[in-house]
Amino acid sequence: MRRGFLLVLLTTGPVPAAPAQQLPDQAPHLPEACLEAPTPIGRALCFNNALNAADARVAPLLRRAEAPDLGLRAADLAAAQDHWRRYRDVHCGLLQRDEAWQGSEAPANVAACRLALTLRREGELRDLITPWGSP
């Protein structure tokens, strides 16, 4: 259990001992409506819906990154995205193994983690396809 805790600590900063509402480096990107949902199930459903929407925005960014003018190899991009998705799912799954994150909030916390990392990935892909010097 401690190894998972250290991995989370090293990769995202301090690990909160409370629900997703207190994820310090991720909370600004999480939808307020999800954070304010009255039940853990409601929060989990809201975060998962937002995650599906974020995944839908990532797909066209990946297609744009494959454009010949960017000089990126489609196979490399696909491999990188597959590895990133596995990292996201394993990393956020570690939260369920930490005793402080178990219980009825666990599904909402995991969904919030996946959403936060996907939103970060969306920004990284936007940066990748934006030509240098463009606003």
All structural domains of the chain, each given as residue ranges with its CATH number in brackets, are 2-7+39-129 (1.20.1270)
Question: What is the separation of C-alpha 76 from the centre of its chain, rounded to a whole number of angstroms?
Answer: 21
Q: Look up residue 19 and give its DSSP letter.
A: -
Contact indicator for 95, 110 with CB cutoff of 8 Å: yes
**Where does residue 82 rank: exposed (0-12), middle (13-18), buried (19+ CB within 10 A)?**
exposed
Contact indicator for 6, 94 with CB cutoff of 8 Å: no
Pseudo-torsion of CA 24, 28, 34, 35, nearest 10°? 40
For the segment 11-47, what is each residue's pLDDT rounded down to a tens digit?
444 333 334 444 435 545 799 999 999 999 999 999 9
- What φ, ψ does residue 122 adopt, rounded to 5°? -60, -45
- pTM (two decimals): 0.73
E-assigned strand segments in 5-135:
none
For the segment 70-115, what is each residue's pLDDT rounded down to a tens digit?
888 888 989 999 999 999 999 998 877 777 667 788 899 999 999 9
The residue type of 28 is P
- Percent with pLDDT over 70 in the chain: 72
